[in-house]
Structures are given as structure tokens and as C-alpha cells.
Amino acid sequence: MNSYAVRTDALGRRFSETDALRDLDLEVAPGTVLGLLGHNGAGKTTAVRILTTLLEPTAGRAEVAGHDVARAPAAVREQIAVAGQDASLDERLTGRENLMLLGRLQRLSKADAAARTEQLLERFGLADAAGRLLGTYSGGMRRRLDLAACLVVRRPVVFLDEPTTGLDPAARADMWGAIADLVTEGAALILTTQYLEEADRLADRIVVLSGGRTVAEGTPAELKRRVGERRVHITLDAFEEAARRLDAEVDPRARRVSVAAPNGPDDLRRILDALDDLDVEEASLAQPTLDEAFFALT
Ligand SMILES: Nc1ncnc2c1ncn2[C@@H]1O[C@H](COP(=O)(O)OP(=O)(O)OP(=O)(O)O)[C@@H](O)[C@H]1O
């Protein structure tokens, strides 16, 4: 059991009439990332609140870093870091002062706190802004400092609740780089997200939740495969004619037709032959995206 950073067995939580979470089975190894993926109300936050000891389960059990969340919550809390709360930061301090303060509060020596602070500022691209008050930080910088804050003292299990919600694409990409780095330190990461691309990029395994239940589970590649076959996408002006000939799905705005291609390159060749007299602008053979997978699964 101890070889898992997180392990749950038929974990559940009921609020009067609502099953917020049902029969959740997880096994997360150290140094790996689990993505909990789902829309609003799917049960992600409920799962994280149970695993971080903020909420008691009403069914099943969960162990975090070898400790039962219901029977030994204090021991669990000593082993975890939780980001995405934004609560531990002080607006009136600089980025550097915030990290130093947190290090000192957690009983690091002054020298250790200073060394860890500089290391984290550097790692999260905040070294240049370290002397500025938190109040002047952009949303992306603030989110990176929040992540740094929960890492001042190293913990084996890190929870990131929707770490990039509300960030623009550039800030999101920065954040993804920072998160990917974390795993190299050997921590297990539990990441909740509504973004398929985020789970695809960062997670080793994904659990898809819907209405509190696990509707799919696997690696990003497995989930994509399970949902179905490859497809050929063709862009051309004569998309209506192409759709008629191929009995294909049409996206008129993109001037694109799409057809299932279980035989891969053979299908691509056959389809291009069938459109030989039309002016094809672009043709591709693609695995379904995680987006398509998600909507097929829930
Ligand atoms: N304290 C509570 N009392 C009653 N119902 C609750 C409570 N907390 C959550 N729920 C319900 O449990 C379900 C799951 O909610 P949860 O917050 O876990 O979803 P989520 O996947 O985290 O969604 P979001 O992305 O919006 O945070 C929802 O139907 C929600 O209304």
C-alpha cells in the first residue's frame, strides 16, 4: 500500500440527496501526475477536499502518503501541499518576502528559507519580479507564486486544483512548464482540470469524472484510442460535393469534411482518389483529440 502516494477504494461522499462522489478508485505512484478531469459539478473538488482532509468521506477509504485520511488526518496534512487556494499570500509583501515568511513559519532556518526562496523564484520565472509587491503581479505571476508558496517545504504529494483556470494561453504555458518540473523532484501530483489539453499535456493517467462517477480511466493515449478510430480530415472549397461522395461529416465554416479511417493510410489514399478531380487544399489523418474523447465518454 505504501508504494502508492495516493490510493482510494470505493471512495464516496453524499450530501443529503446528492452523490457528489461515488466509488472512486485511484492509485497514484510517486513521481507521476494524475489528472482528474471533469466539467463543473463532476466531483473533482469533492475528491480533492477528501484527500486533503477538509471533508470526511461517507463511503470507502483513502490513504495519502500511507496514512488514512479519516483516521490520521494530521499525519496526512504533514505530507501534502495544496496549491490553487491563493490564501497563504500577503498582498503587502513582495514575492520574495512572501516565500521567506512561509519558509520561516514552517520552521526552516533563515539560510534554508532564503536558499529555497531563491531557487523557487528562479524556477518559476519570478526572479526579476521578486522585489515587487504581490499587489502588482499579473494573474499568471500570482498563480506561479502561489504554486511556489506551497512548495517551500517539500512534500511528497501535491494537489493542484484547477491551476490554470482564467489564465491566458501564454501564462498557461508558463504554468505547465513549472508543473512539469515538479514531477522531476519525485512528488506525486493530483491535478484537477476542466481543460482536456492540460490533462493531455501533464497527466500520466487521467480519471474522467461525470456526476460524481468515474466514466473513464487510462493514459491520455489509451483514452483517445478507446474513443475510436482515426479520422481523415480534408479541407477544400468543394466540401459539399466531397461530403456527398464520402458520406462524411461537414464543418462548413472550416470548409472541412471528416470521415472515419479505421485503416489509416489506406483510407487516406482511397479518400484522396475519390476526390481526385476536386481541388484539395489540405488532407490529414489524425487520432481523435482528447476533447472528442471526453465528449464521447460523458
Ligand atoms: N457542501 C455541499 N453540499 C451539497 N452539495 C454539494 C456540496 N459540495 C458539493 N456539492 C455537490 O456535489 C457535486 C460535485 O461538486 P464538486 O464541487 O466536487 O464538483 P467539481 O467537479 O469540483 O466542479 P467545479 O469544476 O465547478 O469545481 C455538485 O453537484 C455539487 O453541487
Rounded to 5 degrees, what angle do the CA atoms 99, 100, 106 make?
A: 90
Question: Phi, psi (5° rounding) for residue 41?
Answer: 80, 5
- Over residues 19-67, the pLDDT tens digits come to 999 999 999 999 999 999 988 889 999 999 999 999 999 999 999 999 9
CATH number of the structural domain 230-297: 3.30.70
| Residue of 40, 54, 56, 191 with the most ligand 1 atoms within 8 Å of its CB, for mutation | 40
Q: Which atom of ligand 1 is nearest to the CA of 45?
A: 22
Residue nearest to atom 29 of ligand 1 (CA): 41
CA–centroid distance, residue 42 to ligand 1 (Å)? 7
Model-level pTM?
0.80
State the pairing for strand pair 157-161/188-193: parallel
Q: Which residues line ligand 1 (CB under 6 A)?
A: 15, 18, 20, 38, 40-46, 194
String of DSSP letters for 198-255 = HHHHH-SEEEEEETTEEEEEE-HHHHHHHH---EEEEEETTHHHHHHHHT-EEEGGGT
CA–centroid distance, residue 40 to ligand 1 (Å)? 8
**Distance, CA of 41 to CA of 280 (rounded, Å):** 43
- Over residues 151-206, the pLDDT tens digits come to 888 899 999 988 888 788 888 888 888 888 778 778 899 999 988 888 888 999 99
CA–centroid distance, residue 50 to ligand 1 (Å)? 12
Residue nearest to atom 31 of ligand 1 (CA): 41
**Distance, CA of 140 to CA of 147 (rounded, Å):** 11
Mean pLDDT of the chain: 90
In the chain, where the domains are located: 6-225, 230-297
> Is there a shared CATH topology between the 6-225 domain and the 230-297 domain?
no
Residue 226: its pLDDT value, please?
75
Who's near 209: CB < 8 A, 6+ residues apart? Answer: 21, 24, 36, 37, 38, 42, 43, 44, 47, 215
Provide ipTM, 2 decimals: 0.93
Q: Which CATH superfamily is domain 6-225 in?
A: P-loop containing nucleotide triphosphate hydrolases (3.40.50.300)
Q: Which atom of ligand 1 is nearest to the CA of 43?
A: 18
